Amino acid sequence: MAERRGVLARGLTGWAFAGPATLLVVGLSIFPTVWAFLISRTRWNGIAIPRPLGWANYRLMAEDPELWDSVRHTFVLTALFVPSSILGGMTVAIALSQQVRLIKFYRTCIFVPFVASSAATGILASYVFNPQFGTANELLRRIGLPPQQFLEDPRQVLVVICLIALWGQIGFTAVVYLARLQDRPKDLIEAAMVDGAGRFRILWHIIVPELRPVTVFMVVWQTITALQLFDLVYTTTRGGPLSSSTTIVYYVFELAFQTRRYGYGSAVAYGLFAVTMVLTVGTILYSRRSKVEAF
């Protein structure tokens, strides 16, 4: 009996520690998740009594051209954003790990845009890239290039949004890489130097492989960031011009809170959730199999 009571007491102590956090997670994540699923099987404008539809909203997704457009935009953004934020972050981190004067000042400069909220970044950028009155065109004019439409040209808008996102996010990837670079294997580098390896070969054969686990983690992290891009789109273009910058999450927002189709909006959100989950699990499995300890 005493033993059983001990187990019970230990269990209760465990729950006493985990309980508050569990309640928070259940209340703020699991509750809305379950509820959104129930809503996704209805037609609901948020106010009137919801009408059950079964799986109709999910079937609708397959034949909704606007959804597929927003999927395409999201993939273009992800394909532009993930590699460039990782390469950019790695380059900046390697540069910042050198012994240079005022290095702390440079590090702060790189990190500050990440601390600024992306809503503020977006509002600022929409002024900079305004085709009629912005400073970006002024700059182009001074160096003798023709003015661009930037955020108001359906062909340029995704690239410009990606640039704005990079401005905020490179600081983050750089800091993560920098942390890893702080404990690079000094003995290995010294050994390589003794063997006569040049700086570039040390970089390529020792430092970059050392960064692999961080890179796998950053790929997953930045992919999720790109897939969930919303605030920049909201503050710069509202999905325009001509819906050419509507990302999946912005489309969900538009469905639920502008056209008030909560049911279909929730179904699309679930679709995105499934894709994100598959991508994440896939990457974790890959990294385990190839023995890169990222997770």
Q: Does the footprint of another protein cover residue 139 (CB under 8 A)? A: no
Q: What is the DSSP string of 239-283?
A: T-STTTT--HHHHHHIIIIIS--HHHHHHHHHHHHHHHHHHHHHH
Applying CB under 8 A, which of residues 1, 16, 21, 48 lies at the interface with another protein? 48
Say how far apart CA 266 and CA 39 lie, in whole Å: 7
Applying CB under 8 A, which of residues 1, 3, 5, 7 lies at the interface with another protein? 7
For 11-37, b where at least 16 C-beta lie within 10 A, e where not — what string? eeeeeeeeeeeeeeeeeeeeeeeeebe
User: Is the CB of 15 or the CB of 295 nearer to another protein?
Assistant: 15
**Count of residues near another protein by CB under 8 A:** 38
Tell me, what amino acid is at 133? Answer: F
Please report how many Cα atoms fall inside a 13 Å half-sphere around the Cα of residue 258, on the Cβ side.
9
- Fill in the per-residue mask, 247 to 276: x = in contact with another protein (CB under 8 A), - = not in contact: -------x--xxxxx---------------
Q: Does the footprint of another protein cover residue 117 (CB under 8 A)? A: no
- State the pairing for strand pair 42-43/51-52: antiparallel
The stretch near another protein (CB under 8 A) out of 28-36, 72-80, 182-190, 285-293 is 28-36
DSSP state, residue 48: S
Cβ(190)–Cβ(61) below 8 Å:
no
User: Is the CB of 16 or the CB of 194 nearer to another protein?
Assistant: 16
Q: Does the footprint of another protein cover residue 43 (CB under 8 A)? A: yes
CB of 87 to another protein, least distance (A): 31
CB of 50 to another protein, least distance (A): 5
Applying CB under 8 A, which of residues 5, 62, 105, 133 lies at the interface with another protein? 133
Cβ(203)–Cβ(89) below 8 Å:
no
User: Which residues of this protein are in contact with another protein, per CB under 8 A?
Assistant: 7, 11, 15, 26, 31, 34-35, 38-39, 42-51, 126, 130, 132-133, 151-152, 237-243, 254, 257-261
